[in-house]
Amino acid sequence: MFTKRQMEKYGDVLLWALKTARKGDFKKKDVVMIRHDLAGIKMAEILQVRLLEMGMNPILRMGLTSVMEKNFFEKANQLFNEEKYEEAIAAYQEFLEKNPEIFQVHFSLGNCYKELGNTEQALQEYQLVLEKTDAEKDHKLRAKTLAAIGESYLKKEDLDSAQNYFKKSLDLDPQDEILAYNVGEIYFSHQKLEGAVEYFELASKIKPDWPDAFYKLGLVYLNLTDYEKAKENLKKFLELESDTERSASVQNILNYIENMNQI
CA 263 – CA 256 distance, rounded (Å): 11
The domain ranges of the chain are 4-62, 66-174
pLDDT of residue 177: 92
* Fold assignment, 66-174: 1.25.40
Q: Give pLDDT tens digits for 37-69.
A: 667 788 888 888 888 888 888 887 666 555 556
Q: Give pLDDT tens digits for 123-136.
A: 999 999 999 988 77
CA 54 – CA 60 distance, rounded (Å): 16
- Please state the pTM of the whole predicted model: 0.63
Question: CB count, 10 Å around CB of 79?
Answer: 19
Question: CB count, 10 Å around CB of 253?
Answer: 15
pLDDT band at 15 (very low <50, low <70, confident <90, very high): confident
Q: Which of 196, 194, 258, 251 is nearest to 227 (CA)?
A: 258
